[in-house]
């Protein structure tokens, strides 16, 4: 999520969320790891290759199990509770714009 959306969500959470509420700050749902890897590869002019699911743990080590998980996330309840809608660029758009690169 874009930092401006995160900041607005935190401010709204402090103002509107009931005590003990759990808020989930997710602007997009279901951005595949493959798309993220390709965007990072484009940003840093690096090659990107698919890794067979059987080889993920060997290639990435302990974090490979995280990449192999299907962990969908949603902020529907947070949006409804706070009346919040993210408006900033999505992750891939932000990566493609150079938001996380050193240049």
* Span 33-92, pLDDT tens digits: 889 999 999 989 999 998 888 888 888 899 988 877 888 888 999 999 999 999 999 999
pLDDT of the residue at 103: 58
Query: How far apart are the C-alpha atoms of 39 and 23, rounded to whole Å?
Result: 28
Residue 23 is predicted with a pLDDT of: 93
More confident residue, 97 or 100: 97
Which of 26, 4, 28 shows the shortest CA–CA distance to 77?
Answer: 26
Query: Considering the entire predicted model, what is its pTM?
Result: 0.76
Is a pLDDT exceeding 80 seen at residue 100?
A: no
Distance CA 86, CA 89 (A): 9
Q: Are 30 and 56 in contact (CB under 8 A)?
A: no
Reported as half-sphere exposure (CB side, CA atoms, 13 A), residue 53 has a value of 4
Q: Distance between CA atoms of 29 and 1, rounded to whole angstroms?
A: 10
Quick check: 18 pLDDT over 90?
A: yes
- Decide: 89 and 2 in contact? Cβ < 8 Å: yes
Which pLDDT band holds residue 20 (cuts at 50, 70, 90)?
very high
Please give the residue that has the higher pLDDT: either 5 or 1.
5
């Amino acid at each position: 999520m874009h930092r401006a959306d995160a900041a607005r969500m935190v401010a709204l959470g402090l103002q509107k969320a009931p005590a003990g509420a759990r808020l989930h700050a997710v602007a997009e749902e279901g951005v595949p790891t493959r798309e993220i890897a390709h965007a990072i590869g484009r940003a840093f002019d690096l090659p990107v290759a698919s890794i067979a699911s059987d080889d993920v743990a060997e290639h990435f080590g302990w974090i490979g199990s995280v990449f192999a998980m299907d962990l969908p996330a949603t902020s529907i309840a947070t949006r409804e509770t706070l009346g919040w809608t993210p408006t900033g660029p999505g992750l891939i758009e932000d990566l493609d714009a150079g938001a996380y690169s050193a240049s």
